[in-house]
Amino acid sequence: MKSSPSICRIALAAGGSVLGLSAQAELIDDSHANLSMRNFYFNSDNRDGTAQPSRTEEWAQGFLLDLRSGYTDGVVGFGVDATAMLGLTLDSGRGRHQGGSMIPSDGDGAADRWSSAGATAKMKMSQTELRVGQLMPRLPVLVASDGRLLPQTFQGVQLQTRDIDNLTLIGGALNRARGRASTDLTGMAVSGGTQESDRFNFVGADYRATNTLLLQYYAGQLEDYYLQQFTGLNHTLALTDDSSFTTDLRYFRTRADGANGSSSGRSQGYTVGGYTKGSDGEINNDLWSAAFTYRLRGHSLTLGYQSVSDDSNFVQINQGSIDKGAGGSSLYLWTDKMLLSFTRAGERTGFAQYGYDFAANGIPGLKASVIYLKGDHIQAAGGAEQSEWERDFSLDYVIQGGTFKGLGVAWRNGKSHSEAARNGDQNRLIINYTLPLF
């Protein structure tokens, strides 16, 4: 294990040679590297409909080498981060593989292995940082998906500053995306769109009004598809030493942009899938949600409600209609779950979740939760409204000490019934372990 840090440090030193010996010292001494390993078993059984495959069953091992340098000394510091990812198929085959789900396709079956690498140049002055290259944003208007073996990544530029007390400002632009089951960079689109956009612009602000109150505003524009604005409020009220009440309010306003706003543009492929008013493929959506969580020692109970307007489905970036395994996305929504996201046009969803942290019972690292969601008033082309529901259960354990400290095991089980999609049962078994290299 001692050889890997040496190799990484030599690489950093060589790359920083033009910055001078003093600059190199800061660049190298503050650097660190981790090797994250994820073993993922995925089983999804669609219990109705004729489309094939009706069942997806795959098992794979993933490796992610994450190298992060320090910054050179001086008023303006420079550095570089890099990642290398490798996926290995352990078990899959014809009739049990669905491209883009977790493993890339290779002919009629699953690829034996796939890999990618990326680098990010960074520059920092005080509490302001500029990053150029590979990015994994986690913003209300765009969440890089990490729900399978390897994470989704993007290419672009991002500027973030925390120079003003209690205020974080962020902005940037992305031009390419790599799907979580892909080795290729592609343009960007929404589900149902077949034309690629090469620009996603975003800005945002997080304001910590008090220690317990966070206010947010974000905007994201996928050129020729949509312009989306988000406002959010999160407040936690301490009731006693071991209990609290949290309020979480979210609102998204999404409208057509560029080509999607015209019939000629939509006919070229700048369109959205699913129900739209007038069946014209134009994006026009409002979504709001409210969730309230009561915590008492290890217990937590969340009750919430979400409403989607009638004109079109809620949208964010999803390359599912673009080839090369680029599909898959994550949404900044309480309702984005294992099988369904409850974001169809007109959908009204109530949900309840119970969780327990067994640390309160003397078993640190063990957590469990169950959630039930019921959506109705879904708009359909035929005029009749539809409904759907989902129940998910999760169990997580992270070893707290000893040789395997930090090793995590997670089980996910989900069941759904929908009049707007296929019914399904899904199981995921995930083992995570991160090894610090230096």
**Helix, coil or strand: residue 103:** coil
CA distance 349 to 305: 6
Rounded to the nearest 10 degrees, the angle between the axes of helix 21-29 and helix 3-15 is: 140
pLDDT reading at 218 higher than 70: yes
The pTM of this model reads 0.91
CA distance 378 to 419: 9
Q: What is the pLDDT of residue 19?
A: 47
pLDDT reading at 330 higher than 70: yes
pLDDT reading at 139 higher than 90: yes
pLDDT reading at 23 higher than 80: no
Q: What is the pLDDT of residue 14?
A: 43
Render pLDDT for 74-133 as a digit per residue (tens, 0 to 9). 999 999 999 999 999 998 866 677 766 788 888 778 889 999 999 999 999 999 999 999
Q: What is the pLDDT of residue 292?
A: 98
Burial of 274 (0-12, 13-18, 19+ CB in 10 A): buried
One-letter amino acid at 211 equals N
Q: What is the pLDDT of residue 320?
A: 72
pLDDT reading at 6 higher than 60: no
Q: Determine contact, residues 271/284, Cβ cutoff 8 Å.
A: no
Give percent of the chain with pLDDT exceeding 90.
78
Q: What is the pLDDT of residue 30?
A: 83
- Mean pLDDT, range 196-218, rounded to an integer: 97
pLDDT reading at 57 higher than 60: yes
Render pLDDT for 369-417 as a digit per residue (tens, 0 to 9). 999 999 999 999 888 899 999 999 999 999 999 999 999 999 999 999 9
CA distance 136 to 151: 8
Q: How many CB atoms lie within 10 A of CB 119?
A: 14
Instruction: Name, in order, each residue with C-beta under 8 angstroms of 164's C-beta and a sequence gap of 6 or more.
Output: none
Q: Give the chain's domains with CATH numbers.
A: 3-344+398-417+424-436 (2.40.160.10)
Instruction: Quickly state the pLDDT bin for 11 (edges 50, 70, 90).
Output: very low
CA distance 280 to 109: 35
Give CA torsion, residues 167, 168, 173, 179, to 10 deg: -140
Q: What is the pLDDT of residue 179?
A: 87
